[in-house]
Amino acid sequence: MHASPKSASHPGAAPRARKSTLETLPPGTRFGRYELLRRLAVGGMAELYLARATGIEGFEKLVALKRILPQNAENDDFVRMFLDEARLSATIQHANVAQVYDIGRCDDGLFFTMEYVHGEDLRTLMQTLAKRGRSFPLEHALAAVIGACAGLHAAHERRGPDGRPLGIVHRDVSPSNVLVSYDGCVKLIDFGIAKAQRRQTETRAGTLKGKIAYMSPEQCMGVDLDRRSDVFSLGVVLYELTTGVRLFPVENEYAALRQIVDQDAPPPSRRKQGYPPELEQIVLRALRRDRAERYASAEELQLDLEQFVRTRGLAVSSAQLGYFMRELFPARALEQPTAPPPAHGPPPMAVPVSPIVAP
């Protein structure tokens, strides 16, 4: 997501990676000590691969490798954004945040590696359950949101080397950015558009970043944000998981913006019969339009959810969540997250890697 460095090369290097978003680098392509296994996803600025890190004495570790798309590697803004994401994510050390391990420069751009989570995002879970005519079990919805709260609070509390708060605001908390592994671990991902004090790039005035359906009212209005904006976004996720419907089900983005800014959240009990009153109070507090009336932190939201769990005697745990994941995706859970080299197609490549020099 960012500027263009000179390519490193060496005698006898294999052919360069092809510069097309439509073409996947073949399995076996190497970025230094990382061997690509298969592409997981591609977006407008970067692509994500499952890769294997190798070392001495047979050392191996699966990682996710995020690579800036070659056509974006010559754009200074994209490069700075990409570096910002890697550096910012690497500062957050918490069990509920996917960890960043390494960053490097390849023949036609930049890449960084991070924790690979063998599981699914909440969006996939919601869609899968809906297709099967099932609702999201309350205890598992709460387990996922409690885990996301913990990871989000860790990011919000992060301080720089000088001891000053970094002022991190994720700005894109949504079901697609909360992963659940097949053993029940919850991981917050993608700080690509996060706001922080030490970023090299700033959002231009009047620019909206994030998924509109999960934006806070203040984010929709383009005003300065703090952690309470993320609390609202997570409240929307909690609302959807526990009611099975969108907070504001509209067909166009402008209408969604107007409703988020102008309308109070409909009580969940209007959307789902038998909705627990105590949980409704928690959800509606997280979704207050006036952020001064909202939870002041993700930790406060987490504590109230945990109190509700205890009061109700719900079986909320990573073990229970993992069992649910394996029941929902039995074949995927048993798959080895690797892929053999293809029998046909282009041969693997070795992409030269060089050290990063700060721009």
pLDDT surpassing 70 at residue 185: yes
Domains, the chain, with CATH or none: 30-116 (3.30.200.20), 119-331 (1.10.510.10)
Question: How many other β-carbons are positioned within 10 Å of the β-carbon of residue 9?
Answer: 12
pLDDT surpassing 50 at residue 228: yes
DSSP state of 212: G
Tens of pLDDT along 141-183?
999 999 999 999 999 999 999 999 999 999 999 999 999 999 9
pLDDT surpassing 70 at residue 345: no
Instruction: Return d(Cα 79, Cα 267) in angstroms, integer.
Output: 43
Question: How many other β-carbons are positioned within 10 Å of the β-carbon of residue 18?
Answer: 14
pLDDT surpassing 60 at residue 201: no
Token duo for residue 191: 């700080």
Inter-residue contact 353 to 9 (CB < 8 Å): no
pTM to 2 decimal places: 0.85
- Catalytic-residue membership of 77: no
* Marked catalytic residue, from 107, 172, 190, 230: 172
For residue 311, CA distances in Å to 269, 272, 328 come to 19, 21, 27
Inter-residue contact 85 to 191 (CB < 8 Å): yes
